[in-house]
C-alpha cells in the first residue's frame, strides 16, 4: 500500500481563536493532484481520517473539520458514516443543485450537520443558485480574490440577516485580514493566518473494501435492515452484483424489487458469506486473490464441518477472515480492529487461539501438503527470485554460501 497525504489548514474566528480545520487531499508531500472525481478524493480523506488516524490527534479534542462535498458525494451514502459534530459539509460552488441534491442537503441539515458553501463570489448568479438552500446554510466561504466587490457589503448584510456566518478565505496579507475583519466577517482562512500542514499516512486503504468491512460489521452488530440497505446502496456495482447473484439462484424465483427484499430473501448469514466472497473475488487487485478465495472457501467449509452445531456460522466466518490479510496486503490485526468481530473469530484470526484453533491448524496442514506437492512437481518452472521472495517473506533466510 502507498502513502496518503492530507493537508489541514486552520480556520479562526474574529477574536483569533482556532475554531476548525479544512481537510484536503494531497497526492504528494508538496503538491496537489486531483483524483478523477471529487468523491474519490474526499472519500480517501474521510476514510483515512476515520480509520488510519486518531481524529482527536488530527483535529484536537472535539475539533471540527470542513470537507469538500459535491453531488456524487451527497448521493453516495459515505456521509452517513460521519459524526455530524466533527465534520462540516462544504458544498462546492460548481455543484449541480438539482431537486434531488437540494433534498439531500436539507436532509443532512435536518440530521444536524453544519452546511457550508465554498468559493462564494457574491454574484447575482451565485445568489440565485443557492437561494433554495439559504435557510439551510450555516456558513458561506467568500473567496476574497474573486468576489464582486461592488456587491460585497449588500450581500453580506443580506446573508447575515439569515443568521449565516461569513468566512473570508484566501486571506494572504495583514492588510486583507484587517480589511475584512472591519467589514464584519466572522471567520478567516488563508496563508497569512496559517499555511496548510501536511499529514503523512502510511498504508492508506481503498475506500471500497472499507465500506464492505463496515457493512459486515453492521450485519454482525444486528443493525436495522434500513441501515444495512443504505450501506449497500453506496455502491452501484455492489448493488448490481447482489441483484445478479439473487437472480442466479434457482431457489429465488420472486422478481427483485429492492435491496431490503434481497436481505430478507438471503438472510443475514448468507449475505455475510456473499460479502466475504465479494471482498476476495471482486475488490482485491491482488492477482492471486481468486486462488486465495478458493482456499478460503475450502478452509471455511472444513472448519464449519468440524464445529459444534451452534458454532458453525462463526467457524465459517473465521475461516474466511483468516486469509483476508493476504489479499489486501495488510496487517490482519489492524483489519480485525476495523470490524470488531466476535471474540472467538478475532482470537482465531489474530492469534490462532480459541475453540477453532485445532480446526484451523488441520486446514492449514492439508493446504501445505497440497502446495508442497505442487511446488515440487513444478519446481523447474519456478523463477529463482520468486522462490527467494517466498522464503524470505516466511522468515527463512537464504544463505549465499550454501549454494553449491
How far apart, in whole angstroms, are the C-alpha atoms of residue 176 and residue 170?
9
Q: Output the pLDDT for position 37.
A: 46
So what's the pLDDT on residue 39? 54
SS3 87: strand
- Do 235 and 224 contact (CB within 8 A), yes or no? no
Torsions phi, psi for 275 (to 5 deg): -65, -40
Whole-angstrom distance, CA of residue 385 vs CA of residue 114:
55
The architecture CATH gives domain 3-202 = Alpha-Beta Barrel (3.20)
Neighbour-count burial of 293, counting CB atoms closer than 10 A to its CB (0-12 exposed, 13-18 middle, 19+ buried): buried
pLDDT at 1: 46
pLDDT digits over 237-274, tens only?
566 667 666 765 555 666 666 777 777 877 877 787 77
pLDDT at 35: 41
* Residue 279 near residue 324, CB atoms below 8 Å: yes
| Other CB atoms within 10 Å distance of the CB of residue 332 | 17
3-state secondary structure of 224: coil
Judge whether 218 and 33 are in contact, CB under 8 Å: no
Distance spanning both ends of the chain, measured CA to CA: 37
How many alpha carbons lie under 13 Å from residue 47 in its C-beta half-sphere?
22
Burial class (CB in 10 A: 0-12, 13-18, 19+), 30: exposed
Residues contacting 164, CB < 8 A, separation 6+: 134, 137, 138, 139, 140
Domain locations in the chain?
A: 3-202, 206-283, 290-404
Residue 137 near residue 113 (C-beta atoms within 8 A): no
pLDDT of residue 211: 67
Low-confidence ranges of the chain (pLDDT < 50): 1, 33-37, 204
- Nearest Cα neighbor of 158 from 122, 198, 211 is 122
**pLDDT tens figures, 321-365:** 888 777 666 677 777 776 667 788 888 888 989 999 999 999 999
Q: Give the residue among 335, 337, 321, 343 at the shortest CA–CA distance from 272.
A: 321
Distance CA 130, CA 349 (A): 51
In 10 A of CB 153, how many CB atoms?
12
Amino acid at each position: 500500500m502507498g502513502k496518503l497525504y492530507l493537508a489541514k489548514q486552520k480556520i479562526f474566528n474574529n477574536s483569533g481563536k482556532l475554531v476548525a480545520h479544512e481537510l484536503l487531499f494531497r497526492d504528494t508531500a508538496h503538491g496537489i493532484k486531483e483524483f478523477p472525481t471529487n468523491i474519490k478524493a474526499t472519500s480517501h480523506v474521510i476514510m483515512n481520517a476515520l480509520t488510519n488516524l486518531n481524529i482527536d490527534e488530527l483535529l484536537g479534542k472535539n475539533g471540527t473539520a470542513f470537507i469538500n462535498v459535491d453531488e456524487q458525494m451527497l448521493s453516495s451514502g459515505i456521509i452517513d458514516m460521519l459524526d455530524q459534530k466533527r465534520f462540516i459539509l462544504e458544498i462546492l460552488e460548481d455543484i449541480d443543485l438539482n431537486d434531488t441534491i437540494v433534498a439531500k442537503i436539507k436532509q443532512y441539515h435536518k440530521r444536524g450537520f453544519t452546511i457550508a458553501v465554498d468559493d462564494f463570489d457574491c454574484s447575482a448568479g451565485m445568489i440565485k443558485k443557492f437561494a433554495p438552500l439559504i435557510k439551510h446554510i450555516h456558513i458561506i466561504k467568500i473567496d476574497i480574490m474573486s468576489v464582486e466587490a461592488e456587491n460585497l457589503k449588500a450581500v453580506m448584510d443580506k446573508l447575515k440577516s439569515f443568521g449565516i456566518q461569513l468566512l473570508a478565505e484566501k486571506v494572504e496579507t495583514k492588510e486583507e485580514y484587517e480589511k475584512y475583519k472591519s467589514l464584519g466577517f466572522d471567520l478567516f482562512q488563508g496563508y497569512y493566518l496559517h499555511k496548510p500542514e501536511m499529514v503523512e499516512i502510511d498504508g492508506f486503504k481503498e475506500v471500497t473494501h472499507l465500506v464492505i468491512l463496515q457493512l459486515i460489521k453492521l450485519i454482525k452488530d444486528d443493525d436495522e435492515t434500513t441501515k444495512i440497505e443504505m450501506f449497500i446502496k453506496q455502491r452501484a456495482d455492489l448493488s448490481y452484483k447482489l441483484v445478479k447473484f439473487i437472480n442466479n439462484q434457482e431457489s429465488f424465483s420472486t422478481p427483485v424489487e429492492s435491496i431490503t427484499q434481497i436481505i430478507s430473501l438471503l438472510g443475514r448469514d448468507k449475505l455475510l458469506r456473499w460479502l466475504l466472497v465479494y471482498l476476495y473475488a471482486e475488490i482485491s487487485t491482488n492477482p492471486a486473490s481468486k486462488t486465495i478465495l478458493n482456499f478460503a472457501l475450502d478452509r471455511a467449509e472444513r472448519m464449519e464441518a468440524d464445529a459444534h452445531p451452534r458454532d458453525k456460522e462463526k467457524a465459517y466466518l473465521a475461516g474466511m477472515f483468516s486469509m483476508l490479510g493476504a489479499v489486501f496486503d495488510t496487517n490482519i490485526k489492524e483489519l480485525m480492529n476495523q470490524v470488531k468481530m466476535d471474540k472467538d473469530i478475532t482470537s482465531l484470526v489474530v492469534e490462532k487461539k480459541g475453540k477453532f484453533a485445532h480446526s484451523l491448524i488441520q486446514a492449514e496442514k492439508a493446504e501445505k501438503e497440497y502446495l508442497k506437492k505442487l511446488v515440487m512437481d513444478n519446481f523447474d518452472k519456478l523463477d529463482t527470485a520468486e522462490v527467494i521472495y517466498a522464503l524470505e517473506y516466511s522468515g527463512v533466510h537464504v544463505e549465499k554460501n550454501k549454494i553449491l
